[in-house]
Structure 1
Amino acid sequence: MRLYLSGKGGFAVAVAEAITNRGHALVGIATPATRRNHADDGDPLNWDRLRAWAYPRRVPWVDAGRLRAHRVPADTDVILAAHSHAFIGRATRARARVAAIGYHPSLLPLHRGRDAIRWTIRDRDKVTGGSVYHLTEHTDAGPLAAQEHVLVPPGSTATTLWRDHLAPLGVRLILRVLDDLAAGRRVEVPQDEARATWEPSWSRPPLVKPELPQLPGTAYVETHPDALYRD
């Protein structure tokens, strides 16, 4: 299949390598323009790792903050979010002929939000996991395509839990879902909203939703990520 990948960092690179090794074609990527504020974007040392990985492979790149529908090739089968903190809007998702999916490092609908792993450690959860879900207008709330649990090892930190368990699990689950989609199997299990939890970011700005206009006189509120936007 032909995939468009939005993400960043080492996890996005691991996903890119896994899906291309599986025989899928990567038709484009979206990453943050730079890793440091006011950095020179002409210097590859400032680029995100996924962008640096894609450059010698001639995979087209766009700044994730400027990702819009016309940037996604019309023959894209799947849009994939892998450690992407930019909202992928409805018109952009519609460019995918088969599905638009993302990976979240929790047992959704638990621990929605960008710091799910930190809250897992902070809440001393004994069990966590990873979820691949279909992207919708609501953050981390789309139907589940695959999910698997992980026992949290004693003494885990957010870093070790992600590096040793949840990131590798994410790659495996993404490949599983892509195999399903390629075979014509589309899994969509609705999330149980009665059990949903949303945890605010510890230190970073809220998720960016560039395709949804902000209501006048409002500001981003992390604890209510969808309340300030309209279609």
Structure 2
Amino acid sequence: MRITLVGSRHFGVTTFNTLRQHGVDIVLVVVHDGEDRLAAAARAAGIEVVVQADPKRVVASEIAPNTDLIVTAHSHARVTREALAAAKLGGIGYHPSLLPRHRGIAAVEWTIKEGDPITGGTVYHLADRMDAGAIAAQEWVFVRKGETARELWERALAPLGQKLLADVIFHARTHHNLPATPQEEEFATQAPSLSDGKD
């Protein structure tokens, strides 16, 4: 199972480490910033790093040859249709909400803002529309009263993401396919950035 990992920051590094500890073959790491901590972790492990030519897009030439699956972990870049076609099983990403609720860059913040008592995490198929691909795995968690977005992410949603990504990758490795349940569009809500339009 050859994985191209696209990501950044702490969640990218923990995903990288978790998958490698479980014997997953990460053949290439793609980052938007060559100084990112994920890039440093990959180089330290002797794994090739590619820096995106465009920080908002991942293109086919940035995917390793013979990739089975593209995995995104804290990446806000759109993986193009051609890039997904370069991987046998396409690509998956983790979103910290119960998709289709709170699609967008600030899902955890909107969970707190809306006062949701329950949230969760979703591993979904990367697709043309952001956060709109079929669901591969999903689990829910309670939101504690008074919890901040950061506290919720660190306590529950980041660890859940590691677990769900690993579960889906192990399924793919065993069965050579990905679970896929279409999202229910009638329940979709948006979670745009809360910082005055700046990412």
Assess same fold via TM > 0.5: yes
* Corresponding residue of 2:4: 4
Larger radius of gyration: 1
Runs of 4+ in structure 1 displaced over 6 angstroms? none
TM-score by length of structure 2 reads 0.93
TM-score by length of structure 1 reads 0.81
Structure 1 residue 59 corresponds to structure 2 residue 47: yes
In the alignment, residue 165 of structure 2 is paired with which amino acid? I
Deviations 1:63-119 (A, max 9, x none): 235432122122111100111001000000111112310000000000000100000
Q: What secondary structure is seen at the aligned counterpart in 1 of 2:189?
A: coil
* Corresponding residue of 1:27: 27
Unmatched tracts of structure 2, length 5 or more: none
CA shift at 1:57, angstroms?
1.5
Which of 114, 117, 120 is the equivalent residue of 1:126?
117
* Corresponding residue of 2:192: 200
Deviations 1:107-132 (A, max 9, x none): 00000001000000111110000000
Q: CA separation of 1:60/1:205 partners in 2, compared to 1, >3 Å: closer, same or farther?
A: farther
Question: What is the identity percentage for the equivalent residue pairs of Structure 1 and Structure 2?
Answer: 41
CA distance in 2, matches of 1:62, 1:30: 5
Which of 23, 38, 41 is the equivalent residue of 1:50?
38
Structure 1 residue 117 corresponds to structure 2 residue 117: no
Matching of residues 98-117 of structure 1 within 5 Å = 98-117=89-108
Which of 148, 157, 161 is the equivalent residue of 2:152?
161
Matched-pair contact (CA < 8 Å) for 1:12–1:50: yes
CA shift at 1:14, angstroms?
0.6
* Corresponding residue of 1:85: 76
Which 10-residue stretch deviates more, 194-203 or 61-70?
Answer: 61-70
Aligned CA-pair RMSD: 1.3
Unmatched tracts of structure 1, length 5 or more: 35-46, 207-231
Equivalent pairs counted in the alignment come to 194
Deviations 1:153-196 (A, max 9, x none): 12210111001100000000000001111111521000000110
Q: What secondary structure is seen at the aligned counterpart in 2 of 1:124?
A: coil
